[in-house]
Amino acid sequence: MKPTIFKAFVFATALSSFTIIAQNTPTKLSNTYLEKVIKDNSSYLNQGKVADYIPELAKANSQAISVCVLGPKGVIYKAGDYKEKFTVQSISKLIALMIAVEDWGEEKVFERVGYYGTSLAFNEFAHLETMPTPLNPMMNAGALVTTAMIKGEGDEGYQRILERIRYITNNNTIKINQAVYLSEKETGHRNRGMFHLLKNKELIDKDEEALNNYFKQCSIEIDTEDLAKIAYFFANECTRFDGDNKYKNSSISELLLSQMLTAGMYDYSGAYSRKIGIPSKSGVGGGIIAADPKTGYGIAVFSPALDSHGNSLIGSKILEDLSNKLGISLFKK
Amino acid sequence: MKPTIFKAFVFATALSSFTIIAQNTPTKLSNTYLEKVIKDNSSYLNQGKVADYIPELAKANSQAISVCVLGPKGVIYKAGDYKEKFTVQSISKLIALMIAVEDWGEEKVFERVGYYGTSLAFNEFAHLETMPTPLNPMMNAGALVTTAMIKGEGDEGYQRILERIRYITNNNTIKINQAVYLSEKETGHRNRGMFHLLKNKELIDKDEEALNNYFKQCSIEIDTEDLAKIAYFFANECTRFDGDNKYKNSSISELLLSQMLTAGMYDYSGAYSRKIGIPSKSGVGGGIIAADPKTGYGIAVFSPALDSHGNSLIGSKILEDLSNKLGISLFKK
Amino acid sequence: MKPTIFKAFVFATALSSFTIIAQNTPTKLSNTYLEKVIKDNSSYLNQGKVADYIPELAKANSQAISVCVLGPKGVIYKAGDYKEKFTVQSISKLIALMIAVEDWGEEKVFERVGYYGTSLAFNEFAHLETMPTPLNPMMNAGALVTTAMIKGEGDEGYQRILERIRYITNNNTIKINQAVYLSEKETGHRNRGMFHLLKNKELIDKDEEALNNYFKQCSIEIDTEDLAKIAYFFANECTRFDGDNKYKNSSISELLLSQMLTAGMYDYSGAYSRKIGIPSKSGVGGGIIAADPKTGYGIAVFSPALDSHGNSLIGSKILEDLSNKLGISLFKK
Amino acid sequence: MKPTIFKAFVFATALSSFTIIAQNTPTKLSNTYLEKVIKDNSSYLNQGKVADYIPELAKANSQAISVCVLGPKGVIYKAGDYKEKFTVQSISKLIALMIAVEDWGEEKVFERVGYYGTSLAFNEFAHLETMPTPLNPMMNAGALVTTAMIKGEGDEGYQRILERIRYITNNNTIKINQAVYLSEKETGHRNRGMFHLLKNKELIDKDEEALNNYFKQCSIEIDTEDLAKIAYFFANECTRFDGDNKYKNSSISELLLSQMLTAGMYDYSGAYSRKIGIPSKSGVGGGIIAADPKTGYGIAVFSPALDSHGNSLIGSKILEDLSNKLGISLFKK
């Protein structure tokens, strides 16, 4: 196939068009290519640090690296330790926000949390002194609010999040890592402190069950392929990778994608936006999802060693390579 | 198929495709349509407040409203008081950043300023106590740094900015509003305070001439059509509206667009990103530019009454309508 | 020489010596005089506001005013509703600090809390983000630390505080107001939040029993005369009003008095220091103690309506009058 | 006994009484004793650091140590390098505050500056973002305000400060160190920044002449004995060491002494208050004055190597020894 012909063909199908527009030299996504990207970035392995503020997290396999790309029509590419399981951690904040908005409407939810980007750390609490609400639902303080807003008694908030993740991934085997949950509950003094400060601000009405739900949602265990399906879901107006559109909702996907770009990588979001430019959300378990609404691709990476912002260090590096090579930054023409 | 022909074809389809994708009922952009949008939003006129911290700005015609949309191949639509002149104010920060990056490279510039989004006001200085650099080049503190980094003695920094704006608009009649400049210089105690704090942090090496350059760049007078040409320039990899590509540079446009989305509307950027989703930059003179890299459209609005964040209140409203009706948010599929 | 005669003699000399130095026109302290001071200040009754963030506190008799002055050798003057009972609240922080220092030594205690004055509110938590320890043991955050440092399991920390207050006042009928305690425990979200943030900073090692101890110590019920005995105790090197010197310790009294002057009236301490100049400590129950080491007088006032700093509004006014008229500010020659 | 005779008696006994009360073993102040205190503390010489943020200050003789104690009736003790000259720096803030209060009354002055103690550094500016005024007139921000409030055109504010210092010390040879002044003016970017932020807050009405006056007052050159006379002046209701009472004013001395205790040693004031307990004011030139209203003693120390708070390190140590040995903390009974 000659380049010009290939170009014309690809234009007609949105799928590869992004590679052509971006690069002129088309990159063919393949498992081999993803393996190369992993290899290219594996030298960073020793620069990050596995989260150890939750003792159970410190047990993660710090050498693991994986990447999975899921495109329209079920196209999937994967490489590395993609069968390795890990906890979703803050990536669950997207699901909690989604359900809270379904329960209350976006306006009511954002009376209790802001839309702000920030230069502050993911677990900052000082702003609760000066601001009427947490800055955004991607940082811990805001996520405590959205989780507590999910309707339901006791652990129902958590069960609804778990159920939604199982739906999105179409994987009913997904469940909590009980050891991680108990470890978070035992040592999560900072989150517990914020939880009560938020009660003091009358932004949370529930008791500590709601805090437990937060710890539980963070402790849901998943693999990289599951994660790519979550990324795909938000890249495609909340349509499932297999086309099921029970939850299709472009307003929610736009909300989530804009929050991912604004705050999904915490205080690194601004720099990430410039370097990678794809709406993304990280978790301290080492996962990152990147959801590209332009092409509909959902990308997931995993590597538990974190940078100083609490994001997977190699995960960001791999996404930077993918973004540059595929030309899928939102800011590229 | 020769490249140029192929491009023409793509342009022809891309343009309508975004309207179709977005709405199912395609909206035809037209002067009439823009007039309607202005009319729809004119009821907000009394809710904003013309900036009065600079006395000369308080003299602006608070009733003026205009909008101008400039698309590929010179397509242009405009409505309202688009011949009204006003000062660019903070929109000039984009030009200053562009030239500073040309002079020093992005890395050197961002050693002195951050990439951060924020919940802080455009003229906040307290973060200079705790952070090594200003948060981003869109807020005043960061813009003082980038302007001071532009190479050249005396008012050369300013002259280079003026010259670049004249180039981008292809309009050599553009010049400073001397009364606004003198008013800003006379009353700009807060900017002057920050300027010296930045010298104290060794982020600015120059003397008060560099501060004057900042006041001067803000005082450059322009109309809505000129502004749309600036928006177009950044939406199109720094290619001029007439196709001239002397400064073409996709790296710089990506940097600027990502900063516009992250911080261009100050502490309103996160909410703006969710509601409008187009990289934008406002000025307290009442102008806003919105640059859409997906479609290559450059949009400019003008209405001097500001909201509490320092952004044109009606300007934001008009852009929200345009974004929704045309479906050009970056977060829309 | 019979005690009563001796007392009268000592009073006559002690009293006039300090008044003469201060004023040249000696003021004779008497019950009548105190009644006049109360009357003079009763017009402020409607300017303050009874604490209502703890529901049970809102039930206080907002009209009550009392004052009690206890001098060397048992001289005592009192006026107003001095039999009215109220909870000590933050005045208990002095006792907790005293016992923590006895248990660990001052140096160890002040590794976990600072000596700082402040412009911040009594219940501020944002400084826990940026400072290694709470600012001082007079604000809530610091007091949570000192209470938790008191050695003992379960409620022993509280029991030791209660026992010490009973000792100082020689009043074994003093006990907790259970309704206030339960109300504080139920609604003290902010203190609970800080407690867990302090655990997160590894400044508190204990579980929520220690927080309950804090709520309990605040809920100890007392009257104005008891309070004057506490003031006397600290004004006299931890010697009891009846001369018992079991706990005599000038180092601890100097520590407490310096902390009272620096931070005992929270962010009002600096202004209070200028206007009144006597080491003092307030509680949101409406009590204030003032301990003057120069003359050895202990003063207590009570009036539950608070000013914006959380101090008894009329209490401060009465103390200002007493300080001025008796000339007992530490800053007077 | 007639009042005047009584006073005389009290005065005569007061002097030795404080040593007796404090120590049981009375300490006889003497030059020899002061020499011993210097020697005892000289080992700290290498722990401090001469201020170098103003280049001219870095030239100070870092080995110099001196102490001077001036008591009632002209009693004077001195030791060490008491003829060494140095600039008063922030000690001049007391004089500026005094004159501003004379010009406007205390109430008007404290509408533009607070009475607060603090945990913040002497040159902190972030609080100007959140607080209506600088925290107190002892920190740089507040002192810029008080100096600018002194009535007079051009350098008159400075001239009045110089004149007052010459009066208090009865030493007309005192003058500015021009090299230090020019160095401060050249490099004082942080103070210049705050000056303009204060203009922005409308707390300063004057132009940069007032800032120059601040730099000039800091550059007044003095020796330890002069400094002890300033300390004496404030310890004795603004009466001069030789009994001249042209400016006698107990309200002003009480204001100044309370501010010295609250904020005179910056963020070290709380700890200093506990350890030393004498109203004091330091300058980055290495001087500290301590004024004891109880005994009427004025103490000055000098040693240019500073601790992390910007106070003379050995100066504080010497004052701690003197306070402990003489028992003159305000918090001692």
Task: Give the D window 37-76 contacts with C, CB below 8 Å.
Answer: none
Higher-confidence residue of C175 and D54: namely C175
Sequence-distant (6+) residues with CB within 8 A of B196 are D189, D190, D192, D193, D196
Distance in angstroms (rounded) separating the CA atoms of residues B204 and B202:
5
Predicted confidence band of residue B58 (pLDDT cuts 50, 70, 90): confident
Nearest to B174 by CA among B223, B121, B216: B223
User: What is the tens place of the pLDDT at every residue in D274-319?
Assistant: 999 999 999 999 999 999 999 999 999 999 999 999 999 999 999 9
Predicted confidence band of residue B27 (pLDDT cuts 50, 70, 90): low
- Region C159-164: mean pLDDT is 98
Sequence-distant (6+) residues with CB within 8 A of A59 are none
Q: Is the ipTM of this complex over 0.95?
A: no
Parallel, antiparallel or unpaired: strands D221-222 and C280-282: unpaired
Residue B26 per-residue DSSP state: P
User: What is the tens place of the pLDDT at every residue in B289-328?
Assistant: 999 999 999 999 999 999 999 999 999 999 999 999 999 9
- According to DSSP, the residues that pair with A306 across neighbouring strands are A49, A312
User: What is the tens place of the pLDDT at every residue in D175-233?
Assistant: 999 999 999 999 999 999 999 999 999 999 999 999 999 999 999 999 999 999 999 99
User: What DSSP string runs through D86-99?
Assistant: EE-GGGHHHHHHHH
Contact C120, C139 (CB under 8 A): yes
Coil, strand, or helix at residue A123?
A: coil
Distance in angstroms (rounded) separating the CA atoms of residues A268 and A139:
12
D82 catalytic? Reply is no
Distance in angstroms (rounded) separating the CA atoms of residues C148 and D285:
42
Strands (DSSP E) contained in chain D are 49-50, 66-70, 76-80, 86-87, 221-222, 280-282, 287-292, 297-302, 305-306
CB contact under 8 A, D10 and C17: yes
If you average pLDDT over every residue of chain C, what do you get? 91
Q: Which of A37, A145, A180, A284 is catalytic?
A: A284
Strands (DSSP E) contained in B271-332 are 280-282, 287-292, 297-302, 305-306
Give the C-alpha distances (Å, rounded to integers) separating C128 from A127, A128, B186, C193, D209.
Answer: 11, 12, 40, 11, 40
- Region B240-255: mean pLDDT is 97
D9: pLDDT strictly greater than 50? no
D124/C contact by beta carbon, under 8 A: no
C317: pLDDT strictly greater than 70? yes
Taking CA–CA distances from B261, the nearest residue in chain A reads A262
Give the C-alpha distances (Å, rounded to integers) separating C66 from A47, C205, C253.
Answer: 66, 40, 25
Of C127, C255, C274, the CB nearest to D258: C274
Residues of C labelled catalytic: 90, 93, 214, 266, 284
CB contact under 8 A, B125 and D129: yes
User: What is the tens place of the pLDDT at every residue in A100-153?
Assistant: 999 999 999 999 999 999 999 999 999 999 999 999 999 999 999 999 999 999
pLDDT of residue B4: 33
Predicted confidence band of residue A27 (pLDDT cuts 50, 70, 90): low
Sequence-distant (6+) residues with CB within 8 A of B8 are none
Exposed, middle or buried, D131 (CB in 10 Å: 0-12/13-18/19+)? middle
Of D129, D195, D198, the CB nearest to B126: D129
Exposed, middle or buried, A315 (CB in 10 Å: 0-12/13-18/19+)? buried
C57 to chain A nearest CA, in Å?
17
Distance in angstroms (rounded) separating the CA atoms of residues B231 and C186:
56
Sequence-distant (6+) residues with CB within 8 A of A135 are A113, A114, A116, A118, A120, A127, A141, A142, A263, B119
User: What is the tens place of the pLDDT at every residue in A181-208?
Assistant: 999 999 999 999 999 999 999 999 999 9
Nearest to A135 by CA among A269, A288, A290: A269
Higher-confidence residue of A254 and B29: namely A254
pLDDT of residue D27: 57
CB contact under 8 A, D279 and C253: no
C11: pLDDT strictly greater than 80? no
Give the C-alpha distances (Å, rounded to integers) separating D170 from B263, D71, D73, D101, D226.
Answer: 59, 16, 16, 22, 9
Give the range among A260-264, A289-293, B70-74, C100-104 with minimum mean pLDDT: B70-74
Phi and psi (nearest 5°) for D278? -115, 135
Ordered domains of chain D (ranges, CATH):
3-326 (3.40.710.10)
User: What is the tens place of the pLDDT at every residue in B196-226?
Assistant: 999 999 999 999 999 999 999 999 999 999 9
C14: pLDDT strictly greater than 70? no
D58: pLDDT strictly greater than 90? no
pLDDT of residue A6: 32
Nearest to B222 by CA among B170, B186, B260: B170
CB contact under 8 A, B193 and D190: no
- According to DSSP, the residues that pair with C306 across neighbouring strands are C49, C312
User: What is the tens place of the pLDDT at every residue in C225-273?
Assistant: 999 999 999 999 999 999 999 999 999 999 999 999 999 999 999 999 9
Nearest to C87 by CA among C199, C213, C174: C174
Phi and psi (nearest 5°) for D219? -95, 5
B137: amino acid identity, one letter: P
Angle, helices A313-326 vs A14-23, to 10°: value is 90
Cα–Cα–Cα angle for A142, A147, A149, rounded to 5 degrees: 95
Give the range among C34-48, C159-173, D45-59, D238-252 with minimum mean pLDDT: D45-59
pLDDT of residue C13: 31
pLDDT of residue D299: 98
Best residue in C192, C198, C267 for a mutation probing chain A (most A CBs within 10 Å): C192
In total, chain D counts a number of residues equal to 333
Global pTM reads 0.92
Sequence-distant (6+) residues with CB within 8 A of D293 are C330, C331, C332, C333, D235, D236, D253, D257, D279, D330
The residue with tokens 């992993």 is: A38
A274/B contact by beta carbon, under 8 A: yes
Of A124, A127, A196, the CB nearest to C196: A196
